[in-house]
Structure 1
Amino acid sequence: MQNTSHAVMAQRHEAKDSADDFPTPPWATRALIEHIVGVDQVRGLTCLEPAAGRGYMARPLAEYFSQVDSADAYSYGFAPVRDFLTFPYEAMSHDWVITNPPFRLAEEFVDRAMTVARKGVAILARTVFLESVGRYEGIFRENPPTAFAQFSERVPMVKGRLDQKASTATGYAWFVWEKTSSVVVPRLMWVPPCRKKLEKQSDYQG
């Protein structure tokens, strides 16, 4: 009999050379701007999405930022092929770096993004990214996020495609570093139920 407990279902294992292609539903990206960062706070600014895939995060970001540059280490036909960890982006070349990085490389993405971004960094990651001694010592102890925003409703992600009818047992959250913030203790936040309000039927077309 198949074990369908949440503890098992929530695990997602990818090979070390995997593209970790789990497209982000666009409404989850809009939630970052609408409920965490603030629409007025990004108006007129630039953004880099360095793990853009097919553009499901870059397109909604373009609804708020004046310019969104995209790239990915793999070719999906949407953005230039550039490995974020090795491509020579200039320091503070973009106001924000916002992405859903490969989970196994998320720590390295945060470190690199903090150099590239002038104002802030936001990554969408599994809630369990909070765990592990390695991440505590490598990121959180010296450079904790200014905000940790847990989704109150699930964000379904399916390998290789965007599926409006998908479900998931995995919890996701936005980890946000606002470089100009004076926050010492990270803000614990919840992303309120907002899928129905922020989701567009056109997100799933084409």
Structure 2
Amino acid sequence: MAHVNPARDATNLFPTAPWGGRTIGEIVRRLDPKARTCWEPACGPGMLAHGLNDNFQAVYQSDYVQYGDHRIFDFVRGPEDQVPFTADWIITNPPFDLDEEFVQVAYARARRGVAMLVRLGFLEGQKRHQLLYRDCRYYAVAPFSERLPLIMGCWDPEASSAAAYAWFIWLKPGVGPRIRPPHPYVIDIPPGTCVRLSRDSDLQFAAMRAAA
């Protein structure tokens, strides 16, 4: 189990297993072969970014709390003239209480696309309906057939979860297939993905971050 330093604010920190990052990296490569760079704006100790590195030439990292050597920046409230990065894609596991704000800001800043790891229940809600189908119309949702556990303050590769999470994906105009489906569609993340995309380096990276 890889814990973060308890002196840091872990209230909104739910580290993402690196195989979850490799999963969305593969999906992005299929949808947008021209994608080269990615910004992870709620990076925490860098577990998600560690997985994203497999599919992008550069992965920029920031967070509003200092967990490592990433850039400090409040993604939602930070001033536009101080935005530290521009990237083809913005991909993150946003704070639960700011997920809608993260979608709106990321869609405005990303050059080519956005992916957010949120609860599958993000599909629900009358207010959110306008966000998903009008303001920032999403392109696809990719639920996990096997659960991707998220635990407050740590990453535990042996953990299980009853909560269902999914990658929600947005493509900017002109990106992706020339003919788009009339409605958002589902991208399957099949059983066995965890084993296929997990690496020995994930545990080594987690141990290094916990010791930092």
SS in 2 for 1:57: helix
* Structure 1 residue 186 corresponds to structure 2 residue 184: yes
Per-residue deviation, 1:144: 2.3
Q: How does 1:31-70 map to 2 (within 5 A)?
A: 31-34=23-26, 36-38=27-29, 41-42=32-33, 45-70=36-61
The CA deviation string for residues 7-56 of structure 1, in whole angstroms up to 9 with x for no partner, is: xxxxxxxxxx974111000101111122x222694566111100000000
* Equivalent residue, structure 2, for 1:201: 200
**Cα RMSD after superposing both structures:** 2.3
- Kept in 1, the 8 Å contact 2:28–2:35? The answer is no
Supply the distance in 1 between the matched residues of 2:39 and 2:129 (Cα, whole angstroms).
Answer: 25
The CA deviation string for residues 134-179 of structure 1, in whole angstroms up to 9 with x for no partner, is: 2112333343211111111100111111101101000010000011
The CA deviation string for residues 113-147 of structure 1, in whole angstroms up to 9 with x for no partner, is: 01111100000011111111121123333432111
| Greater alpha carbon shift after TM alignment, 52-61 vs 77-86 | 77-86
* Equivalent residue, structure 2, for 1:28: 20
Supply the distance in 2 between the matched residues of 1:104 and 1:77 (Cα, whole angstroms).
Answer: 23
Q: Which ranges in structure 2 are unaligned for 5 or more consecutive residues?
A: 1-8, 208-212
The CA deviation string for residues 170-197 of structure 1, in whole angstroms up to 9 with x for no partner, is: 0010000011245241112221121111
Distance 1:42 1:85, change over 3 A: farther
Supply the distance in 1 between the matched residues of 2:71 and 2:129 (Cα, whole angstroms).
Answer: 33
- Which of 100, 116, 120 is 2:113 aligned to? 120
What letter corresponds to residue 160 of structure 1 in structure 2? G
* Equivalent residue, structure 1, for 2:155: 162
Distance 1:201 1:39, change over 3 A: farther
Distance 1:93 1:77, change over 3 A: closer
Flag the structure with more relative contact order, 1 or 2, with Cα contacts below 8 A and sequence separation at least 6: 2
What letter corresponds to residue 28 of structure 1 in structure 2? G
Following TM superposition, the consecutive aligned residue runs of length 4 or more in structure 1 with deviations greater than 4 angstroms are: none
- Matched-pair identity in %: 41
Per-residue deviation, 1:202: 2.1
SS in 1 for 2:132: helix
**TM-score (normalizing by structure 1):** 0.83
Q: Which ranges in structure 1 are unaligned for 5 or more consecutive residues?
A: 1-16
**TM-score (normalizing by structure 2):** 0.81
What letter corresponds to residue 200 of structure 2 in structure 1? Q
Distance 1:122 1:71, change over 3 A: same
* Structure 1 residue 74 corresponds to structure 2 residue 70: no
